[in-house]
Structure 1
Amino acid sequence: MPRPVRRFHPLLFVSACAVVLAACASERTLTPEQYEQRLPALEARAEANPSNAAALRDLGEAYAQTGAYRQAENVLQRAEAAAPDDPKTLYYLGVSKEGLEQPDAALTVFARYRDLPPRSRFQQLMAGRHGWLLRALLRDELAALVAAEDSLTAEGVTEAIAVFPLTYQGQDSLYRPLGRGLSEMLTVDLASVEGLRVVERLRLQTLLDELALTQNAAFDAETVPRLGRLLRSGRVVGGVLDVQNEQLRTDVALWDWPSEPLPGLSSRQAGLAELFALEKEIVFDLLVQLGIELAPAEREALARVPTRDLQAFLAYSRGLLEEDAGRFVEAAAFYSQAVRLDPGFAEAAQKNQEAQAMAEVAGGVDMALAAPRRSARPPGGTSLVHNRLTLLNQNLGAHVVPGDEAREPTADVPLDPLGAEPIPDPPPPPAGGN
């Protein structure tokens, strides 16, 4: 028998966030003036050791922290040549390119986090900045598309599938996040099928936000063709869901909008505890409509469910809503809750790690530069995001706690493969040196 679903208390959550902001304000950080004071000695050190990766990197960091982005880029590129896989060098190189208004080049640098040893602090900061910058560039791209949408036609629209958020029609707001969570499951499942191209949920949600569309307005005869042209997606999945008396009902349709009228919705109903089995029924039915026949091994793999814990899935779905709204600390708290409720919920654990990383670095270049100082910890201490999650855990009525993935990511590896943190005062230049 499934556990009763606990209610979330928003007032306690707001109180927790207020405590978080106070904790952030109390963090002691280095100032640009302090970096400025170190520059002469750092320059002398780098000049005396022109091939030393740590000396070049530390000088590049100081240049970046004082806003000398061009000088930082030049020095950090030399440091990169000497130590191509140093996360700290790459992080500051990416931030410097942002400061030079080269966001695409910065994104390319940050994307290298995938090739670096996981769980080092600067690898995590690179991952977070990559996620945040990707969202910012996506907003700009879609805003430009919307501005030019009068010139778009159905020509060039592909067979890519966009899965819209399911509109919740129930009275109990507790289950409203299920619309986002089920849509994510459908997107992930369809994207795992070989030969199917599926629009990323982030791209679709960013467009909905850009157009200020509600979920209710998204799947209709006027809106779908418009969104399809903007997304270059010719096939759309959408519909509604409802929860009444522990019974879940979904009404879902697949619409090939360039070639057919809006179809009727296909209805399914099951006990709330059977939510995951119902989602798989929808997926397999969609594949039949698409004319895709799965091999037995493919069908078995697709039948896997990420969790069977309804409370964990609700927490995960709330995390998606918070992440879409740019509230990454709150998203991480909900993902962490999902992992605590179901330690085998791998998707929630991955989302938790990503949200924590973005929480560290979200904002403009100044925030990206402050993040390494803000996330630095004293010996035996914990990270700022971990502290935030702990505060949320202490104040949330839903009993959110940091899961295993919420621990300090550098606890098991050196903070910096090329040197200690923070930048040490460099030695004076050799006698007679320039």
Structure 2
Amino acid sequence: MKKIIYTIILVVVISVSPGVAAQQNASVIAIVPFTNLTKDTDLEWLSEGIVETLTTKLAHVKTIQIVERQRLSAALDEISLGQMGVVDEAKAAKAGQMVGAETVVTGAFQQVGETFRLTARFVKVATGVISNTAMATGSYADLFSLEDKIADDILSSLGVAVSAAEQEKMYRKPTTSVDAYKNYSQGLNYVKQERYDDAKLMFDRALKEDPDFGQARNDLAFVQWARPSANSSLYLKRIDRPFDETYETMLSAVQRAGMEVRNAQKETGTMEVHESSWSLIKSPQDIQIEIKRLETISGVRIFSQPSKVPCLGIRQAYDWGQSKKTIEKLIAAFETELYRH
């Protein structure tokens, strides 16, 4: 009997260890918006568009962990990096420290005549020193190939080996139309600004250019879901995670916030969360959560209403300030769970 027990334990250790080691050895990188060195404002969309493409490509590599764009944006806003033009190494390292990255990728793009150039610098967060650089030159029509080159150079700089399956996914093009890609990137920028009508227009244009552009169709579905409830939600976000992961993360966030899930319906993506604190001047809060299931992303909407007062069976006067504080507490817990490594 003892031999059997020891054998089982040994098998478990051997099975689990490689996965744990792979997770611990993952390279954590952050990619900041690329700087437009060209005076042509019509190219400004590439600042975010290039980041979106590189993030999507590198996310297919299991030994790399990409810092969430929403989390990185918050860090950049805090140190006002977005207003500085070219990002210096010290600021890049500071942003990297804030989000737990080991390497920060900064870059720029420039068009001179028919020549289009992408450049990138890789800053080691621990030292604030540029560890390597990359450059890809071609024409504007070669944009997708130039982005592939920069992605390859990032992997090479990190010393990351890529499997054939990962490589196939990396080089898979979501669209072959630069114009569709431009409209899609502009739509994503409008989503960040919560300008959903403008975002819908851009995604519609992207799909007109390329009806098979799956990412544009996915984000159009998010916008169509978000628009009707934009004014009644205290939290409405596009999440770069699939539905199942987002739903489980929200459940963990509720527990972290010290709240209670009273009614969760995963098939519909809804849950009701209760904060039980109550007094004559503070009503308990019932928080309503909707999580939208999309193909590769998800949407999260949070809103609230006052609970019935115990024993009396009536609702207190709605306390907007208290409701907002309760939801902010849940949001903080959700984003902590969402972005923790």
Is 1:271 aligned to 2:136, yes or no?
A: no
Deviation at 1:277? 0.9
CA offset at residue 278 of structure 1?
A: 0.9
1:173 is the counterpart of 2:48:
no
Aligned to 2:210: 342
* Residue of structure 2 equivalent to 1:188: 56
Q: Is residue 202 from structure 1 mapped to residue 99 from structure 2 by the alignment? A: no
- How far apart in 2 are the matches of 1:324 and 1:365? 15
Cα distance in structure 1, aligned partners of 2:72 and 2:221: 22
Matches within 5 A, 1:66-77: none
Instruction: State the alpha-carbon separation in 2 of the partners of residues 219 and 364 from structure 1.
Output: 37
Structure with a larger share of its residues in helix: 1
Cα distance in 2 for residues equivalent to 1:269 and 1:292: 23
Q: CA RMSD in A?
A: 2.4
1:361–1:367 contact (8 Å) kept in structure 2: no
Cα separation, 2, equivalents of 1:332 and 1:210: 29
8 Å contact 2:117–2:138 — kept in the other structure? yes
Alpha-carbon shift at residue 262 of structure 1 (Å): 2.5
CA distance in 1, matches of 2:187, 2:82: 18
Distance 2:40 2:195 in 1: 23
User: 1:200 Cα deviation (Å)?
Assistant: 1.3
Which has more radius of gyration? 1
Structure 2: give runs of 5+ residues left out of the alignment: 1-25, 237-341
Partner of 2:164: 296
Q: Determine the C-alpha separation between the residues in 2 that align with 1:236 and 1:223.
A: 10
The equivalent position to 1:249 in structure 2, one of 117, 123, 131, is 117
> Whole-Å Cα distance in 1 between the matches of residues 66 and 235 of structure 2?
33
1:326 to 188, 194, 203: 194
Alignment partner, residue 360 of structure 1? 228
Q: Give the Cα–Cα distance (whole angstroms) in 2 for the partners of residues 310 and 322 of structure 1.
A: 18
The amino acid across from 2:56 in the alignment is V
Contact 1:329 1:356 in 2 (8 A): no
Q: Please report the TM-score for the alignment, with normalisation by the length of structure 1.
A: 0.46
Cα distance in 2 for partners of 1:192, 1:364 equals 36
Structure with more relative contact order (C-alpha pairs < 8 Å, separation 6 or more): 1
Matched residues in 2 for 1:306 and 1:351: separation?
Answer: 13
Indicate yes or no: 2:106 matched with 1:238.
yes
CA drift of 1:297 comes to 2.9
1:210–1:336 distance in 2 versus 1, CA, 3 Å: farther
Match of 1:161 among 22, 29, 33: 29
Q: TM-score with structure 2 length normalisation? A: 0.57
Q: Which amino acid aligns with 1:334?
A: M
2-structure distance, mates of 1:367, 1:263: 39
Kindly state the Cα deviation for residue 166 of structure 1 after the two structures are TM-superposed: 0.5
Which deviates more from structure 2 when the two are superposed, residues 269-278 or residues 300-309?
Answer: 300-309
Tell whether the 8 Å contact from 2:63 to 2:160 is kept in structure 1 after alignment.
Answer: no
Q: 1:305 to 1:215 in 2, by over 3 A?
A: farther
CA apart distance, 1:332? 1.9
Checking the alignment, whether the CA contact within 8 Å between 1:161 and 1:197 is kept in structure 2 is yes
Letter in structure 2 aligned against 1:227: A
State the shift of 1:219 in Å.
2.6
Q: In the aligned structure 1, how far is the partner of 2:93 from the partner of 2:160?
A: 24
Cα offset, 1:264, TM superposition: 5.6
Aligned counterparts of 1:268 and 1:286: Cα–Cα separation in 2? 12
Q: 1:240 to 1:367 in 2, by over 3 A?
A: closer
For 1:199 and 1:227, the matched residues in 2 are separated by 11
> What secondary structure is seen at the aligned counterpart in 1 of 2:57?
helix
**Partner SS state of residue 332, structure 1:** helix
1:119-169 deviations in whole A, cap 9, x for unaligned?
A: xxxxxxxxxxxxxxxxxxxxxxxxxxxxxxxxxxxxxxx942111111111
In structure 1, the gaps of 5 or more residues are: 1-157, 369-434
